[in-house]
Structures are given as structure tokens and as C-alpha cells.
Amino acid sequence: MQTTTLLINLSYIVAAVLFIYGLKLLGHPLTARRGNQLSAIGMLIAVVVTLLDQSILSYGWIIVGILVGSGIGAYAARKVEMTGMPEMVALFNGFGGIASLLVGWAALSDGHLSSFILITICLSILIGGVTFTGSLVAWGKLSERIDGKPIKFSGQRAVNSGLIAAIVLCGILFVNYPDAGFWLYLLILLAVALGVLAVIPIGGADMPVVISLLNSYSGLAACAAGFAINNNILIVAGSLVGASGIILTNIMCKAMNRSLSHVLFSGFSTVKSAAMVIEGEVKPMTAADAFYVLEAASTVAIIPGYGMAVAQAQHSVKELQELLEDNGTEVIYGIHPVAGRMPGHMNVLLAEADVPYDLLLEMDDINPRMETVDVAIVIGANDVVNPAAREMEGSPIYGMPVINVDLARTVFVLKRSMASGFAGIDNPLFFKENTRMIFGDGKETINQLVREFGDN
């Protein structure tokens, strides 16, 4: 028995080391895939050892669950578009939350439990329920199945405050009277209601931050469930997910000029862009005319955004990059932390097109070079290059760190129309003297530029 316990604990240590090392490798594009593989191996070890550690009456349903879950996961991973990755992350968070809720609920079957265990069960049910429904709402808003605008009603704060107070009271009663199933069911109901009410007043532009925060919540729920069932590796894994989620949330808050405390307490304000309408003269340009400017450029900076992901233009961009380099032009890419919908979104897309990692410059690295750039090509980005963040104190995004493309000698903005970006804010960049608008599908515009290089 002691030998088995020692083997199990050693296996857990190995799994924990793989988790931690895998997270470290995820910090760089060159090693991210290996980090993901090591973390998956660690999780496999943890699951297998945990199953061997328990008195399993029948493995039939477990095998069925593994096969069905693996099949759904493999299908979803192959079919999901990169533009839909944030929505998938939201669903993953939600499923993690409901799993922790169910694990906490199942822990009640162990019979007489200490107050500490009951408190951890309460926390796993509460955080898991909030994460589940909150993630579903975030998924709905990002996928546009739910209106992305903030949903508010009179007395909303009072309702939320009352709901939180009821959850605290219900939790206390549940811990003191665990045999009364009423308090358990009421706690679950209140938790799932809080998840909905906490997320609906937040606008779609802030959903990426909310998803990162819910990712942290899913980890905290798993950690609480680990205490509830006395499983060390679940505690470690949940803690790592919770901590990494908070770190990512903090990074995104800074990149979007949001306060972490506002995120934690649902303090997002509705963006009011009507009072900040920008007027000026737009200077359109055709791809044929843009070719001559690019042909003479010494340095070109490409700034991708969500529009590039929607147009699936990354391979065309790589082709244009190679043609420019053959013409003697230095090409670099400027990556904003929240370009797209999640951090790393653009990096993954460009890596898919085999763009060298050393050409991908973070915002802090490319901004000092922007004044020396001959042409900045903005492909589907809007809010992350909006100079209103520097120049207009009344703007909702004032103070948000942005890529200063307006400082380049010439700026090409590739857009379908003059519509505002995800945050719904007008962009004075479009009216700058050095900006030229090239309207149309981003991928087709890049392909036109590629053809111009081929014909000349």
C-alpha cells in the first residue's frame, strides 16, 4: 500500500513538473507546440494515476466518456477557424466550470465531511456555476448569437448585490446543514444566475478580457474541487490555470486601458462614441497606385488585425512580404497584445503562413521604429492603431497603448468600409494627411498587390 501511494505521489510530481515546464514553453512561439504536448502528457499521467488510485467499480462509462470526448475535441480542433478560437476558449472555460461543479457535488457522497471540505465544495460549486453560465454568455456575445451590446436594466446593481448576499447566506446554511439538499440546489441556481448577470452588462469589445478572467475562475474552481476530493494534482493544475489566467487578464487590461479591479467587479463602462465623431476628408487609393509606393519603400511595417483573420489573408501577406524582400525592402510586423480577439491570435495566424518569428515585433519594440518606416500597412486592424488613444482625452480609449502607425511616412489602411472597429469608436487615423484608404476585401487587395509585383 505504501509503495502504491509513493508511486502515485511521484507520478503527480512528474505531472506537475510537466505542467509548469509546459507553461514556460508556451511563452515563445518556437517552443509553444512542444509546451502544449508536454502539458498534455502531464494531464494524461495525472488522469491515469488518479483512476488507478480510486476504487473504480466499472471503467465502462469512463472509457465511453474518453472516446466521446476525444472524438468531439479532435473534430472541433480541426474544424474551428482561427477567428472562432476565442469562442472555443470560452466554451472550454465553461465546460471546465461545470466539471468542477459536478466534482464538488459528487464529493458530497463521501458521507460525513469536515467544515473545511464543505467550504471547498461550496466554492467549487459557486465558482464553477458562475464560470459555466458566464462563459456561455461570453461565447454567445463573441459569436454574435447574443447582442454584443451591454444588456442593462433598472436596479441591476441592487439585484447583483442581493444575489451575492443570498449566495453568501446560502453557502453558510449549506455548510451547516449539508444533509438538507435544498441549500445545495439553491446554491447551484444562484451561482448560474450570477454568471449570467455578471457578464450580460459587459460589452462585446470587452469580452476577450472577460474570457481571460473566466479562464482564471475555471482554474480556481478546479483548485477548490481538488481540495474537496483531496487530489493534489487537481489542486496544482487548478492553481496554475488560475494564476496564469489572472496574469493574462492583467496583460489584456493594460493593453486595452482597463482596470483589473473594474474587471473583477464588473465595472466596465459602456463606450459612448457618439460624442466623439471624427470628421475629415478620406483619401482613397487603388491597389495599383499603392504598388508604386511600396516598390520605392525601404521599410514596410505590416500591422495585422482581426480583419486579416476574417479574410484569411495571412498566406497572401506572406507572399507579399517575400516579393517586397526580393525587391530589397525590409519587412517587419507589428503585433498588438490584443490584435484579433485574444493575445497571440495574430502570431498563430502568421506562424501558420510560415512568417519568421523574428519579424514579429511586439508593440513596445516596433513603436520606437515607426518614424523610420516608409509604409505601414494596416490590415483589418482598427482600435489597436487608433491615435485617439494618444490625442483625444475625451475618447473612451484615451490612454490605451496603441501601435503608432500614424507616425510612419505613409499609411495604407485596408478596410471594407469606414465602419468603426470592435469597440465602436471612430478612428482619426483614416483622415490623417499621410493615410490612404484602400477599400475592399483584405485578401483580394493583397493579392492585387502581389499581381502588380508579378506584372512589373
Catalytic (active-site) positions: 383
How far apart CA 90 and CA 87 sit, in angstroms, is 5
Cell of 234: 487537481
Give residues with Cβ within 8 angstroms of 395, minimum separation 6.
Answer: 276, 386, 388, 389, 425
Q: At 424, which amino acid appears? A: G
Instruction: Collect contacts of 253-260 with beta carbons under 8 A, ≥24 apart.
Output: 253/209, 254/337, 254/401, 255/336, 255/337, 255/338, 255/343, 255/363, 255/400, 255/401, 256/206, 256/209, 256/338, 256/397, 256/400, 257/389, 257/397, 257/398, 257/399, 257/400, 257/401, 258/206, 258/209
Entry field: residues in the chain: 456
Cell of 125: 460549486
Burial class (CB in 10 A: 0-12, 13-18, 19+), 312: middle
- Helix pair angle (115-142, 85-106), 10° resolution: 160
How many other CB atoms are there within 10 angstroms of residue 390's CB atom? Answer: 16
How far apart CA 318 and CA 298 sit, in angstroms, is 17
How far apart CA 445 and CA 436 sit, in angstroms, is 13
